[in-house]
Amino acid sequence: MTAPTASTPGVISTTESSFGVTTQSARSNSANAVPGFQATQQSEWTKLRSVRSTWIIVSLAIGLSIAFSAVIALVTGLTFDSWGSDGQAAFDPVLTPMSGWLFGIVLLTVLSVTSVTSEYSSRMIRTTFIVKPRRMQVFAAKASVVAMFGLAISVITTLGMFLISQPIYRYYGLATAGITDSAAIRLLIVTVLGQGLIYTLVPFSFAWLLRGTASAITVSIGFLFLPWTLGAIVPAWVQHNLLRYLPDMAANSLSGLTKTDATTYLSQTPAIIVIAIWLAAMPLLAAVILNRRDV
């Protein structure tokens, strides 16, 4: 009768030890687990929204763009009678309010670049990749957060610029456009989706490639702004064979900013293809370079 009693504690002890090892192993594996994509995305969102400069840039992008569009509409109404017949005929109540978007896209470029380069300047990027060694996951999470942030800014700014200008045009007896007009819908969709993503993901990619704030902003602005700023002074061959295949130039064709008889004009389907290729190729190039070199 005493033999089973003596052996039973031994069995229990072995079982408890086995469970203890299993529990300890599970805790160790849980502690060493790499955060998933959703957790990484949440982390990147926290980084972006917790920085004061983010909200300063957002406020300036929205506020300055809408305010400048209102000023342009007011000046247009005050001076319209002194315009020549050609100028009055060229007035477009849909395209003219978008003049204020210049401030928005410049600040959107700055926000996209600094979302990456600020981590390099503070050396926080090393900590990020230690905690999350899967670089492609970090890259994709940050890209999605920055892109969604850029789209939100584009929606608010574009609608604000359009809606604030129309009552001013109406007050001065100028032609106006409704939000449901086909031309307005086309412009708003292209501006929000096309230019919103172009001025987010292209500078974002340059930031990973160059890793410096000043250099990435300079290259981004030169790449996106100079073609349509200085395009008219370069030979027609360059405009037709090179400039019109740049992402911003294609977006201008798609939105109607570029006239159909212009050298840099692209029809709808080619313009969409060009934009899609740039939006895929630039982040892909940046991701490949990031994965191949040291931090």
Rounded distance between C-alpha atoms, residue 69 and residue 37, angstroms:
39
Domain range for 273 is 37-292
CA angle 214, 216, 222 (to 5 degrees): 100
- Would you say residue 1 lies in a domain? no
Look up residue 234 and give its two tokens: 């370069």
CA angle 138, 140, 142 (to 5 degrees): 65
Query: Which positions ≥6 away from 151 have C-beta within 8 Å?
Result: 192, 193, 196, 197, 200
Residue 63 pLDDT: 95
Residue 289 pLDDT: 94
- Would you say residue 126 lies in a domain? yes
Q: Report how far apart, in Å, the C-alpha atoms of 47 and of each of 51, 91, 94, 232 are.
A: 7, 43, 37, 41
Residue 56 pLDDT: 94
- Would you say residue 23 lies in a domain? no
- What amino acid is encoded at 201 in this protein? L
Neighbours of 172 (CB within 10 A): 14
Its pTM surpasses 0.85 = no
Residue 33 pLDDT: 56
Residue 35 pLDDT: 65
Residue 229 pLDDT: 79
Q: What is the mean pLDDT of each run of 10 residues along the chain (295 residues)?
A: 46 43 43 71 90 92 95 94 86 88 92 94 89 91 94 93 94 90 86 90 96 95 86 84 91 86 90 95 95 81
Per the structure, the count of domains in the chain is: 1
- Would you say residue 93 lies in a domain? yes
The SS3 of residue 200 is: helix
* Under 8 Å between Cβ of 143 and 174: no
Rounded distance between C-alpha atoms, residue 72 and residue 53, angstroms:
28
Rounded distance between C-alpha atoms, residue 34 and residue 234, angstroms:
52
* Under 8 Å between Cβ of 247 and 224: yes
- Would you say residue 9 lies in a domain? no
Rg, C-alpha atoms of the chain: 27
Residue 32 pLDDT: 52
- Would you say residue 11 lies in a domain? no
- Would you say residue 7 lies in a domain? no
- Would you say residue 123 lies in a domain? yes
Residue 36 pLDDT: 81
Q: b/e per residue, 176-209, with b = 16+ CB within 10 A?
A: ebeeeeeebeebbebbbbbbbbbbbbbbbbbbbb
Residue 90 pLDDT: 85
Tokens 């602005």 label which residue? 221
Residue 200 pLDDT: 95
Residue 139 pLDDT: 95
